[in-house]
Amino acid sequence: MVDRHRRDIAGGCASLRAARALAVKALLLAALGFWSPLGDARAVIIETGDGTGNVTAPPDDPGWANLGTRGGTTAVYLGRRWVLTANHVGVGDVVFEGQTYSPVPGSKVRFENPDTSLADLMVFRIFDDPGLPRLDIPNFPPVVGDPVTAIGYGLNRGAATTFLDLGGYDWGSGRSMRWGTNIVSEIDILVTDTYSFATTFTDPLDPSATSDEAAGANGDSGGAAFTKIGGGWYLVGTLFAISQYTDQPASTSIYGNKLYAADLSFYRADILAVIEQRSCSDGLDDDGDGFTDYPADPECVNADDDSESILAPDVPTLGFPGMVLLIGAMLLVFAARSRLRGEAI
């Protein structure tokens, strides 16, 4: 009952939000200059210090180890061997904690909007389990003012620069996985057919700037936006685009630029439907042995089996009756030996 009720609310919100997003889209394109995908990418640009910091997990870690590199861009390990990233990042090898993981051929699923247009968001499966924790996606959207920790493998910060009397930075060379902070500045926006929210790169002199104020740079695509809700961290967004002013020089982040993240609450039901599938009924050859699903893959016990590979055989155990028999036998032997010894004396 509770679940059904939630779905109904979500459906209602989705259509209302879709309508609002369409209305906002025209305004957005007119007012913001232009957006661009973080496509051919690179790290989160941070205001803090000389900009080279924040390349290890933050003190309050939202899920640093789940961030991986995907070529020159970023991908996030969701759990159950599924990886989430922006569609324009493309399917391929992903590196988590220095280990490379190969994609299961044909496993890519790109997520769709209610009008069947395609979002810049997808998942694909990897053959091996990196042993990382599963990430939770909230079932409600962010609101303006929510604090966000963003992590991405984009270009490093370069020299300070200005544009239209606004400060900012050139993008430098080299890439790093880096975290930064910001707050949600816009919700319910549609950018490249993706239901999104935005954060705004804010001048540190502005009281709304955060301590590790972050902007996006090429390569951050597929990166993560996390928010702490009720004491726990949630994956709320997938980074995929930025806004820049008209005539803003290429490869710069200027105060006022926005970083767009796909609103994962909007796509949550579809994401879960994909990643919750059982391996023996998901239409994929999950172990690469040439056989797909039950009954074709002989290692599938049934369609609900969650592994296409033979599991390690159970270590034989005696169980309780076995233990009783074993202890009984040992007592008999002990008694017999005692009698023998007694006889010997």
| Number of other residues whose CB lies within 10 A of the CB of residue 85 | 30
Residue linked to tokens 């209610």: 114
Which of 103, 168 has the CB closer to Ca ion? 103
Q: Is 285 in the site for Ca ion (CB under 5 A)?
A: yes
Could you say which of 93, 170, 193, 299 contacts Ca ion (CB under 5 A)? 299
Which of 220, 297 has the CB closer to Ca ion? 297
Could you say which of 146, 212, 220, 287 contacts Ca ion (CB under 5 A)? 287
- End-to-end C-alpha distance for the chain, whole angstroms: 78
Q: Is 275 in the site for Ca ion (CB under 5 A)?
A: no
Least distance in angstroms from the C-beta of 280 to Ca ion: 6
The β-bridge relationship of strands 34-37 and 232-244 is antiparallel
Least distance in angstroms from the C-beta of 103 to Ca ion: 14
Which of 95, 109 has the CB closer to Ca ion? 109
Tokens linked to 81: 């061997």
Total residues binding Ca ion (CB under 5 A): 12
Q: Is 306 in the site for Ca ion (CB under 5 A)?
A: no
Which of 12, 288 has the CB closer to Ca ion? 288
Could you say which of 291, 301, 306, 307 contacts Ca ion (CB under 5 A)? 291
Q: Is 104 in the site for Ca ion (CB under 5 A)?
A: no
Q: Is 107 in the site for Ca ion (CB under 5 A)?
A: no
Q: Where does residue 182 fall: left (phi above 0), alpha (psi -120 to 50 degrees), or beta otherwise?
A: beta
Could you say which of 43, 172, 282, 294 contacts Ca ion (CB under 5 A)? 282
Which of 127, 245 has the CB closer to Ca ion? 127
Which of 155, 284 has the CB closer to Ca ion? 284
Q: Is 120 in the site for Ca ion (CB under 5 A)?
A: no
The three-state DSSP-derived secondary structure of the chain is CHHHHHHHHHHHHHHHHHHHHHHHHHHHHHHCCEEEECCCCCCCEECCCCCCCCCCCCCCCCCHHHEEEECCEEEEEEECCEEEECHHHCCCCEEECCEEECECCCCCEEEECCCCCEEEEEEEEECCCCCCCCCCCCCCCCCCCCEEEEEEEEEEEEEEEEECCEEEEEEEEEEEEEEEEEEEEEEEEEECCEEEEEEECCCCCCCCCCCCEEECCCCCCCCEEEEEECCEEEEEEEEEEEEECCCCCCCEEECCCEEEEEEHHHHHHHHHHHHCCCHHHCCCCCCCCCCCCCCCCCCCCCCCCCCCCCCCCCCCCCHHHHHHHHHHHHHHHHHHHHHHHHHHC
Least distance in angstroms from the C-beta of 101 to Ca ion: 17
Which of 290, 316 has the CB closer to Ca ion? 290
Q: Is 188 in the site for Ca ion (CB under 5 A)?
A: no
Q: Is 289 in the site for Ca ion (CB under 5 A)?
A: yes
Site string for Ca ion, 234-273 (x = CB under 5 A): ----------------------------------------
Which of 213, 297 has the CB closer to Ca ion? 297
Least distance in angstroms from the C-beta of 293 to Ca ion: 4
Least distance in angstroms from the C-beta of 311 to Ca ion: 11
Which of 146, 285 has the CB closer to Ca ion? 285
Q: What span, in angstroms and rounded, lies between the C-alpha atoms of 72 and 42? A: 6
Q: Is 308 in the site for Ca ion (CB under 5 A)?
A: yes
Least distance in angstroms from the C-beta of 137 to Ca ion: 23
Residue linked to tokens 């803090």: 48
Tokens linked to 326: 């074993």
Which of 64, 291 has the CB closer to Ca ion? 291
Residues that bind Ca ion (CB under 5 A): 279, 282, 284-287, 289, 291, 293, 297, 299, 308
